[in-house]
Protein backbone atom coordinates (compact mmCIF):
# COMPACT_ATOMS: atom_id res chain seq x y z
CA UNK A 1 0.00 0.00 0.00
CA UNK A 2 1.31 3.43 -0.90
CA UNK A 3 2.15 6.02 1.77
CA UNK A 4 1.01 9.54 1.02
CA UNK A 5 2.38 12.59 2.80
CA UNK A 6 0.05 14.04 5.45
CA UNK A 7 -1.75 17.26 4.66
CA UNK A 8 -4.26 19.57 6.37
CA UNK A 9 -7.20 17.24 5.71
CA UNK A 10 -5.62 14.45 7.73
CA UNK A 11 -5.61 16.52 10.92
CA UNK A 12 -9.18 16.66 12.27
CA UNK A 13 -10.15 18.12 15.60
CA UNK A 14 -11.10 15.56 18.28
CA UNK A 15 -14.44 17.24 19.08
CA UNK A 16 -15.74 16.70 15.56
CA UNK A 17 -18.34 13.84 15.41
CA UNK A 18 -17.65 12.89 11.84
CA UNK A 19 -16.52 9.59 10.44
CA UNK A 20 -14.97 9.89 7.03
CA UNK A 21 -15.47 13.06 5.02
CA UNK A 22 -19.16 13.75 5.73
CA UNK A 23 -20.63 10.85 7.65
CA UNK A 24 -21.77 10.80 11.20
CA UNK A 25 -22.61 7.60 13.04
CA UNK A 26 -26.11 6.32 12.13
CA UNK A 27 -28.79 6.99 14.71
CA UNK A 28 -30.65 4.09 16.25
CA UNK A 29 -34.03 3.21 14.68
CA UNK A 30 -33.41 5.22 11.52
CA UNK A 31 -33.87 2.11 9.26
CA UNK A 32 -37.57 1.90 10.18
CA UNK A 33 -38.23 5.24 8.54
CA UNK A 34 -37.15 3.83 5.16
CA UNK A 35 -39.34 0.76 5.66
CA UNK A 36 -42.30 2.99 6.54
CA UNK A 37 -41.86 5.09 3.39
CA UNK A 38 -41.62 1.90 1.29
CA UNK A 39 -44.85 0.50 2.75
CA UNK A 40 -46.67 3.81 2.23
CA UNK A 41 -45.50 4.06 -1.40
CA UNK A 42 -46.59 0.45 -2.07
CA UNK A 43 -50.06 1.09 -0.62
CA UNK A 44 -50.50 4.27 -2.67
CA UNK A 45 -49.49 2.46 -5.87
CA UNK A 46 -51.81 -0.50 -5.20
CA UNK A 47 -54.82 1.73 -4.43
CA UNK A 48 -54.13 3.85 -7.52
CA UNK A 49 -53.85 0.70 -9.68
CA UNK A 50 -57.11 -0.78 -8.39
CA UNK A 51 -58.90 2.54 -8.95
CA UNK A 52 -57.51 2.82 -12.50
CA UNK A 53 -58.54 -0.77 -13.26
CA UNK A 54 -62.09 -0.16 -12.02
CA UNK A 55 -62.36 2.95 -14.21
CA UNK A 56 -61.01 1.20 -17.33
CA UNK A 57 -62.88 -2.12 -16.94
CA UNK A 58 -66.55 -1.95 -15.91
CA UNK A 59 -66.61 -5.70 -15.18
CA UNK A 60 -63.87 -5.43 -12.52
CA UNK A 61 -65.33 -5.86 -9.04
CA UNK A 62 -63.57 -6.47 -5.76
CA UNK A 63 -65.06 -9.45 -3.91
CA UNK A 64 -65.40 -7.55 -0.63
CA UNK A 65 -67.14 -4.51 -2.18
CA UNK A 66 -70.89 -4.96 -2.56
CA UNK A 67 -72.12 -3.23 -5.71
CA UNK A 68 -75.70 -2.06 -5.87
CA UNK A 69 -77.86 -4.25 -8.06
CA UNK A 70 -79.01 -2.42 -11.15
CA UNK A 71 -82.50 -3.11 -12.36
CA UNK A 72 -82.72 -4.11 -16.01
CA UNK A 73 -83.91 -1.32 -18.27
CA UNK A 74 -85.74 -3.66 -20.65
CA UNK A 75 -88.96 -5.56 -20.38
CA UNK A 76 -88.55 -9.23 -19.51
CA UNK A 77 -88.99 -11.67 -22.37
CA UNK A 78 -91.92 -14.00 -21.92
CA UNK A 79 -90.85 -17.54 -21.10
CA UNK A 80 -92.72 -19.01 -24.05
CA UNK A 81 -92.82 -17.19 -27.35
CA UNK A 82 -95.44 -18.23 -29.86
CA UNK A 83 -94.02 -20.32 -32.67
CA UNK A 84 -94.65 -19.50 -36.29
CA UNK A 85 -96.71 -21.95 -38.29
CA UNK A 86 -94.58 -24.20 -40.54
CA UNK A 87 -94.93 -23.31 -44.21
CA UNK A 88 -93.37 -24.27 -47.52
CA UNK A 89 -92.01 -21.05 -49.02
CA UNK A 90 -90.77 -21.63 -52.57
CA UNK A 91 -89.62 -18.01 -52.80
CA UNK A 92 -86.89 -18.13 -50.15
CA UNK A 93 -83.28 -18.90 -51.06
CA UNK A 94 -81.79 -21.73 -49.02
CA UNK A 95 -78.17 -22.77 -48.43
CA UNK A 96 -77.45 -26.39 -47.47
CA UNK A 97 -74.19 -27.14 -45.62
CA UNK A 98 -72.96 -30.65 -44.90
CA UNK A 99 -71.60 -30.87 -41.34
CA UNK A 100 -71.01 -34.63 -41.54
CA UNK A 101 -68.21 -36.75 -43.05
CA UNK A 102 -70.67 -38.23 -45.60
CA UNK A 103 -69.67 -37.00 -49.08
CA UNK A 104 -72.34 -35.38 -51.27
CA UNK A 105 -74.97 -35.10 -48.53
CA UNK A 106 -75.63 -31.38 -49.15
CA UNK A 107 -76.34 -32.02 -52.84
CA UNK A 108 -78.64 -34.96 -52.10
CA UNK A 109 -80.62 -33.03 -49.48
CA UNK A 110 -80.85 -30.02 -51.79
CA UNK A 111 -82.31 -32.23 -54.54
CA UNK A 112 -84.85 -33.71 -52.10
CA UNK A 113 -85.96 -30.23 -51.00
CA UNK A 114 -86.42 -29.09 -54.60
CA UNK A 115 -88.57 -32.18 -55.21
CA UNK A 116 -90.69 -31.17 -52.17
CA UNK A 117 -91.35 -27.68 -53.62
CA UNK A 118 -88.50 -25.59 -52.24
CA UNK A 119 -87.49 -23.94 -55.51
CA UNK A 120 -85.86 -20.83 -53.99
CA UNK A 121 -87.27 -17.99 -56.13
CA UNK A 122 -86.50 -19.76 -59.41
CA UNK A 123 -82.90 -20.24 -58.28
CA UNK A 124 -83.51 -23.66 -56.82
CA UNK A 125 -81.73 -24.41 -53.60
CA UNK A 126 -78.85 -21.94 -53.37
CA UNK A 127 -75.39 -23.04 -52.36
CA UNK A 128 -74.72 -26.67 -51.49
CA UNK A 129 -71.37 -27.15 -49.82
CA UNK A 130 -69.49 -28.66 -46.91
CA UNK A 131 -69.61 -26.83 -43.59
CA UNK A 132 -66.37 -25.60 -42.05
CA UNK A 133 -66.78 -28.21 -39.30
CA UNK A 134 -67.43 -31.79 -40.45
CA UNK A 135 -68.34 -33.33 -37.06
CA UNK A 136 -71.54 -31.46 -36.16
CA UNK A 137 -73.93 -33.49 -34.01
CA UNK A 138 -77.28 -31.72 -34.47
CA UNK A 139 -79.03 -30.49 -37.62
CA UNK A 140 -79.97 -26.82 -37.30
CA UNK A 141 -81.94 -24.56 -39.66
CA UNK A 142 -80.75 -20.98 -39.23
CA UNK A 143 -83.02 -18.16 -40.41
CA UNK A 144 -81.91 -14.53 -40.69
CA UNK A 145 -85.15 -12.66 -39.89
CA UNK A 146 -88.29 -13.33 -37.85
CA UNK A 147 -90.60 -13.48 -40.89
CA UNK A 148 -88.67 -16.54 -42.12
CA UNK A 149 -89.36 -18.63 -39.01
CA UNK A 150 -92.35 -20.38 -40.60
CA UNK A 151 -90.28 -21.40 -43.60
CA UNK A 152 -87.50 -22.65 -41.30
CA UNK A 153 -90.02 -24.74 -39.36
CA UNK A 154 -91.39 -26.11 -42.64
CA UNK A 155 -87.87 -27.18 -43.61
CA UNK A 156 -87.42 -29.00 -40.29
CA UNK A 157 -90.64 -30.91 -41.00
CA UNK A 158 -89.50 -31.79 -44.53
CA UNK A 159 -86.05 -32.83 -43.26
CA UNK A 160 -87.58 -34.93 -40.50
CA UNK A 161 -85.02 -33.70 -37.96
CA UNK A 162 -83.50 -30.51 -36.59
CA UNK A 163 -84.29 -27.34 -34.75
CA UNK A 164 -84.65 -23.71 -35.85
CA UNK A 165 -82.57 -20.74 -34.68
CA UNK A 166 -82.75 -17.05 -35.47
CA UNK A 167 -79.16 -16.07 -36.24
CA UNK A 168 -77.04 -13.58 -38.17
CA UNK A 169 -74.20 -16.09 -38.55
CA UNK A 170 -74.93 -16.58 -42.27
CA UNK A 171 -75.51 -13.06 -43.66
CA UNK A 172 -75.51 -14.08 -47.34
CA UNK A 173 -78.37 -16.55 -47.04
CA UNK A 174 -81.88 -15.99 -45.67
CA UNK A 175 -82.06 -19.64 -44.53
CA UNK A 176 -79.09 -21.93 -43.96
CA UNK A 177 -79.42 -25.63 -43.17
CA UNK A 178 -76.42 -27.16 -41.39
CA UNK A 179 -76.77 -30.93 -41.56
CA UNK A 180 -75.54 -32.82 -38.50
CA UNK A 181 -74.89 -36.45 -37.59
CA UNK A 182 -78.53 -36.82 -36.49
CA UNK A 183 -79.73 -36.45 -40.12
CA UNK A 184 -80.63 -39.66 -41.91
CA UNK A 185 -81.45 -39.90 -45.60
CA UNK A 186 -84.91 -41.21 -46.30
CA UNK A 187 -84.97 -44.57 -47.99
CA UNK A 188 -85.85 -44.39 -51.68
CA UNK A 189 -89.35 -45.65 -52.40
CA UNK A 190 -89.61 -48.35 -55.04
CA UNK A 191 -92.54 -48.65 -57.44
CA UNK A 192 -94.53 -51.84 -56.81
CA UNK A 193 -94.00 -54.54 -59.39
CA UNK A 194 -96.98 -55.64 -61.29
Summarize pLDDT for 122-167 with one digit per residue, the tens. Answer: 445 678 888 888 888 999 999 988 888 888 888 888 888 889 999 8
Using alpha carbons only, what angle is made at residue 170 by residues 118 and 129, rounded to the nearest 5 degrees? 60
Residue spans of the domains in the chain: they are 28-70, 94-179
Q: How confident is the model at residue 40 (pLDDT cuts 50, 70, 90)?
A: very high
Report the C-alpha gap between 148 and 142 in whole angstroms: 10
CA 26 to chain centre: 60
The contacts of residue 107 (CB under 8 Å, 6+ apart) are 128
CA dihedral (87, 88, 89, 95) positive or negative: positive
**pTM greater than 0.85:** no
Supply φ then ψ for residue 129, to 5 degrees: -150, 175
Domain 94-179: CATH architecture, name and number where available: 2-Layer Sandwich (3.30)
Amino acid sequence: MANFPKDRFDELPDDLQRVGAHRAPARRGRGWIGVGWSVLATLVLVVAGVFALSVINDDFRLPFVQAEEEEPSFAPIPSELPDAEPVVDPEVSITVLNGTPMAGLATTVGDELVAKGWTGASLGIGSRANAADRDIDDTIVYYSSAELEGAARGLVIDLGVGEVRLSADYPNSPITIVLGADFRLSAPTEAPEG
